Structures are given as structure tokens and as C-alpha cells.
């Protein structure tokens, strides 16, 4: 299980995160939601060891993450930020192969090849194997990057706004894939997501943040309620919960709550 204790981060005198304590349940999909500037990405980046906390600790299965060697950490936690727009001429397969770096450092073995193939077929990217990254669509590229993190075969997967700039079909595909990773492979997935509907329908657990602190935590049924969401986003919500799932309507409800 991965957890944070009294985590804080300040830039100069500006506090971005204040005393955040959260335990992320294992083998579950947890979404970090909240308005802009709430500190969600900052929290995720610290879990990913892309950012140093100003104070507080992060524990992975009871051990302080700062004491774990980075190369070992990569075998347990993989991070995906928004797919960068770089100009490397890589094929999808070559990109996914990079995911094996923590294990084989560039010398691919049969096991590695197996993991790569598995990751590619998990996301049904087989037809795009040999395509170059700059020739496929944004959605397909994001899937390729996800395949790379899957090939890394880590217990924990951290994703920072993976659905940005994606069309509806690809967004659904990615969320479904993440859901399968949790259910079929028992991985723990933590993601920062803006769209409350995706969060509500695919997560098990929600951590809602506002102004650098935790607003509320709990399982989806507890958090996805009109009152809680109104407090979080300062918007009037209408939540419909039926067999299909959740539908949060904040578009046509009247007025803003202050």
C-alpha cells in the first residue's frame, strides 16, 4: 500500500500542499479530483518522485520512498505524465520496449519480449506496432505510452490527467484498460482526472482535494453526492445514480453556489 503522512510542499512562501495524509488502498483505482490549483498533480508528482516534498513522508509498503533506490522504485511504481510532444522517431513497439529498462537496461530478453507483447495486445495496439509515433493520432499515442507503463509491470501505476486532449472513444478505452488492470491484474492505479464523470464511473475510491488540503476521502458512493461535489467545486450538481452508473450534471443546473 502506498500512503503519505503530513505531506507539505511550499514554493517560497506559497503553500501548495498542506499536511496531506492519505492512504491509497491496494488493488483499487483511486481518482484524485478537485478544482485547479488544489494540489492534485503536486501530490502525484511527489508519489512519483518527480518532486521533493518540503516536509512529511511517503511510505511504500511501510518503507520510506526516499530510502528506496530509484532503479528499484521503478520496478514497483510507474508514472505516466501527459504524452510529451517530442520529436523522436520511435515506433510503437520501440517505445513500449523502453518500459523494460528498469529490468534489463537495454538488453532485451525473451521475458522482456513477452511482457512487451502482452502490453501491446492488452491495449489492442497490435496493428500499430510498427507505426511511428508522430504518424498516429494523439489518442493512439497516449495508448502507446500507457502500453509502455504497462510493460514496466509495476504494482502501482500513477497517471497525471491521462485523458486530456483525447476524444471520447480513446478516453473510454483508456479508462477501461485501467479498470481491467485493477480487476484482472490486481494493480493499484492512482490518477489525477478532471472529468468527474469518468472518475465516478471507473474508480473505486476518490480523494477530493481543494486549496492544497484533502477535502474528503472515501469510496465512490460516499463522495459522489450532490452536497459533497457542490462544496468541492462551488457549482450546483445534479447526480443521477442508476444501473448504468453515475451521471453528474453540472451543465444546466441553475446558478453557482457560493
Partner 1 sequence: MRLIPRYILWAGVIVLALTFLLLNSGLDFTYVIPKRLGRLAAMVIGGVCIAWSSIMFQTITGNRILTPAIMGYEAVYLLLQSLLVMAMGAQSLVILGANGNFSLSVLLMLAYSWAIHRWLFRNGRQNVYFLLLMGLVLTMVISTFTQFAQFSVSPGEFSVLLSFSQPSFGRAKPEQLIISCILVATVWLSIRKNLPMLDVLSLGRDQAISLGVNYQRSVQRYLALIAVLVAVSTSLLGPTAFMGIFVANTTYALTRSFRHRITLPMGCAIAISIFIVAQLAVEHIFNYRTTVGILVNLVCGAWFLMLMVRTRAGA
Partner 2 sequence: MRTGLYILFIVLCCLSLIIGAQQLTLSDVMRLSPDAWITLSASRMPRLAALVLTGAGLSVCGVILQHIVRNKFVEPATAGGLDAAKLGILVALVLAPTIGTLGRLLFALTFSFVASLIFIAIVRRIRFGNTILVPVIGLMYGSVLSAIAEFYAYHNNILQSMQGWLLGDFSKIVQGNYEVIYLILPVVVLTYLYAHRFTVLGMGEGMATSLGLNYPATAAMGLILVAVTVSVTVITVGAIPFVGLVVPNLIALLYGDNLVRTLPLVAAGGALLLLACDILGRLIIYPFEVPIGLTAGAVGGVLFLVLIYWRSRRCA
Q: In the set 73, 156, 198, 233, which binds partner 1 (CB under 8 A)? A: 73
Q: Residue 48 binds which one of partner 1, partner 2, none, with CB within 5 to 8 A depending on kind?
A: partner 1
Joined grid coordinates for residue 226:
450532490
**Among all chains, which residue has been given the C-alpha cell 474508480?**
203
Q: Which is nearer to partner 2, 61 or 135 (CB)?
A: 135
Q: Are 10 and 54 in contact (CB under 8 A)?
A: yes
- Can you give the three-state secondary structure of 56-94, one letter per residue? EEEEECCEEHHHCCHHHHCCCEEEECCCCCCCCCCEHHH
With 0-12 / 13-18 / 19 or more C-beta atoms within 10 angstroms meaning exposed / middle / buried, residue 8 is middle
| One of 52, 85, 184, 258 touching partner 2 (CB under 8 A) | 85
Residue 50 found at the interface with partner 1 (CB under 8 A): yes
Report residue 200 as a C-alpha cell: 465516478
Provide φ and ψ at 173, rounded to 5°: -60, -45
User: Per the structure block, which three cell numbers stand in for 180?
Assistant: 481491467
Choices 1-9, 16-24, 44-52, 136-144; region in contact with partner 1 by CB under 8 A: 44-52
* SS3 of residue 240 by DSSP: strand
> Is residue 52 a contact point for partner 2 (CB under 8 A)?
no
Choose, by CB under 8 A, the member of 30, 31, 65, 149 that binds partner 1. 149
Window 150 to 179, contacts with partner 1 (CB under 8 A): 152
Q: How far is the CB of 144 from partner 1 (least distance, A)?
A: 12
If one counts every other C-beta atom within 10 angstroms of the C-beta of residue 222, the result is 12
Q: Which of 72, 121, 137, 165 binds partner 1 (CB under 8 A)?
A: 72
Shortest Cβ 145–partner 1 spacing (Å) = 8
Task: Please report, as residue ranges, which positions from 212 to 241 form the binding site for partner 2 (by CB under 8 A).
Answer: none
Tally Cβ neighbours within 10 Å of residue 213.
16
Q: Please, which residue, 14 or 69, has the CB nearer to partner 2?
A: 14
Give me the residues that bind partner 1 (CB under 8 A), please. Answer: 48-50, 52, 70-75, 78-81, 84-90, 94, 98-99, 101-102, 105-107, 149, 152
Give me the residues that bind partner 2 (CB under 8 A), please. Answer: 11-12, 85
Amino acid at each position: 500500500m502506498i500512503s503519505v503522512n503530513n505531506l507539505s510542499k511550499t514554493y517560497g512562501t506559497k503553500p501548495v500542499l498542506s499536511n496531506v495524509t492519505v492512504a491509497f488502498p491496494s488493488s483499487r483505482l483511486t481518482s484524485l479530483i478537485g478544482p485547479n490549483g488544489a494540489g492534485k498533480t503536486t501530490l502525484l508528482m511527489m508519489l512519483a518522485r518527480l518532486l521533493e516534498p518540503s516536509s512529511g513522508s511517503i511510505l511504500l509498503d511501510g518503507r520510506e520512498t526516499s530510502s528506496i533506490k530509484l532503479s528499484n522504485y521503478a520496478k514497483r511504481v510507474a508514472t505516466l505524465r501527459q504524452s510529451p510532444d517530442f520529436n523522436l522517431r520511435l515506433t510503437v513497439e520501440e517505445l513500449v520496449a523502453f518500459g523494460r529498462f528498469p529490468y534489463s537496461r537495454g538488453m532485451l530478453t525473451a521475458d522482456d519480449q513477452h511482457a512487451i507483447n502482452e502490453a501491446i495486445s492488452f491495449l489492442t495496439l497490435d496493428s500499430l506496432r510498427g507505426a511511428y509515433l508522430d504518424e498516429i493520432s494523439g489518442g493512439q499515442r497516449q495508448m502507446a505510452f500507457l502500453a509502455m507503463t504497462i510493460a514496466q509491470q509495476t504494482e502501482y501505476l500513477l497517471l497525471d490527467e491521462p485523458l486530456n486532449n483525447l476524444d471520447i472513444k480513446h478516453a473510454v478505452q483508456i479508462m477501461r484498460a485501467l479498470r481491467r488492470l485493477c480487476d484482472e491484474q490486481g494493480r493499484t492505479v492512482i490518477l489525477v482526472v478532471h472529468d468527474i464523470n469518468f472518475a465516478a464511473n471507473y474508480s473505486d475510491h476518490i480523494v477530493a482535494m481543494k486549496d492544497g488540503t484533502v477535502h474528503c476521502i472515501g469510496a465512490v458512493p460516499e463522495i459522489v453526492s450532490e452536497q459533497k461535489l457542490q462544496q468541492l467545486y462551488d457549482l450546483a450538481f445534479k447526480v443521477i445514480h442508476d444501473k448504468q452508473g453515475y451521471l453528474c450534471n453540472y451543465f444546466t443546473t441553475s446558478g453557482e453556489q457560493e
